[in-house]
Amino acid sequence: MGFTVVENEIRNIWAPVNFANSSDTCYEGQIVASALTSSLPSGEGLVTMAAAAGHSDTTGMMVPFGVVIGGNDAAPTYNSTYKGMSIASVGSQANQLARDVRGNEGMYVKGDPQALVKVSVIGTNTILKGPIYHLAYGTAPLVYTNTSASTDGLTITTAAVAQTPIAYNVTWYCRSGANKGLYRVAYSTSTTSHTFYLGFPYDIAVGDTFVPIYLRVGTCKAQFDAESTYLEAQPAYATNDYVIDVLEIHAETAGAEYAIFKFNADQFCAYRA
């Protein structure tokens, strides 16, 4: 079920699901934003923050606003893809009045028939927990097998990874072998030879397995899926990324990989260059 707030939530509020000429859908655990054009708000309500466009999303210019934790449908719709509630906006009088709504709070009176979501509002110090998947919600990051022994622990050799790495932005977790349980950050950009300045402490043997996560502890580049419900394990982020500050990466369990992080303050600047 997507992202959750771990620490430093600002507050919970109710806000409309964006409607601008056509409907939008929000999902439980999704990171949402307020849509912006170059000078004015676009549409009414919250939208999916979506995958970044441009470095630090300088093309998309989305500003993280919060994480969806509920909606005002009396009978919530379960979404089997994102494993939680979903709610779609409506625009016309007839479609609004056809909705069966439950009580919300805040500035929107109870019984207002527009689609509303309850959002955990986030800021620069808010800590989030989010799953890490490969290309689709629920798909575990890929595991690679080392094919050449390394007696100094400085090189992993694998079949080509799915996306070209960025130097110092890929953390490798040892899933099996003498270094099982250990993490190291690679500096190379090769798709097959992954090299480290801080080596694994034990020899890397043929057959040892590793999981690459395209994040690192500290400030790094990251990418979300199109609905902002998970972190991409291997994004094609040569030119498109968000900047986040990672506190922890956990790749111990296949299919349950996750990161603890916060957004870098730069992502909250609506008119960043």
Q: Write down the pLDDT at residue 37.
A: 60
The pairing of beta strand 231-232 with beta strand 127-133: parallel
Three-state DSSP class for 97? helix
Q: pLDDT digits over 88-113, tens only? A: 999 899 999 999 998 888 899 988 99
Residue 82 has pLDDT above 60, yes or no: yes
Using a pLDDT cut of 70, give the percent of the chain over it: 96
Q: pLDDT digits over 161-200, tens only? A: 999 999 999 999 999 999 999 999 999 999 999 999 999 9
Residue 10 has pLDDT above 90, yes or no: yes
Half-sphere exposure of 86 (CA within 13 A, CB side): 13
Rounded Cα gap, residues 223 and 244, in angstroms: 9
Buried b vs exposed e over 30-63: b needs ≥16 C-beta within 10 Å?
Answer: bbbbbbbeeeeeebbbbbbbbbbeebbbeebbbb
Q: Write down the pLDDT at residue 31.
A: 97
Residue 21 or residue 109, greater confidence: 109
pLDDT bucket at 4, cuts 50 / 70 / 90: very high
List strands edge to edge, sheet with 64-71. Answer: 11-16, 116-121, 64-71, 31-36, 41-48, 19-20, 22-23
Cβ-proximal residues to 38 (8 Å cutoff; 6+ apart), any chain: none
The pairing of beta strand 11-16 with beta strand 31-36: unpaired
Residue 36 or residue 171, greater confidence: 171
Q: Write down the pLDDT at residue 126.
A: 98
Rounded Cα gap, residues 252 and 229, in angstroms: 21
Mean per-residue pLDDT for 205-210?
Answer: 98
Q: Write down the pLDDT at residue 155.
A: 98
pLDDT bucket at 138, cuts 50 / 70 / 90: very high
**Residue 31 falls in which region: left (phi positive, over 0), alpha (psi -120 to 50) or beta:** beta
Residue 35 has pLDDT above 70, yes or no: no
For the residues of 51-90, what is the DSSP string, one character each? S--SBTTTTT---EEEEEEEE-BSSPEEETTTTEEEEE--
- What residues form DSSP beta bridges with 249? 259
Return the DSSP state at 224.
B
- Cβ-in-10-Å burial (0-12, 13-18, 19+) of 228 comes to buried
Q: Write down the pLDDT at residue 232.
A: 98
Q: Write down the pLDDT at residue 36.
A: 66
Least confident stretch, 35-39, 54-58, 194-198: 35-39
Q: Could you tell me the residue ranges of all domains in the chain? A: 4-124, 129-268
As a whole number, the mean pLDDT across the chain is 93
> Are 222 and 163 spatial neighbours (Cβ–Cβ below 8 Å)?
no
Q: Write down the pLDDT at residue 105.
A: 86
Report residue 134 as tokens.
Answer: 């490969």
Cβ-proximal residues to 272 (8 Å cutoff; 6+ apart), any chain: 56, 58, 61, 266
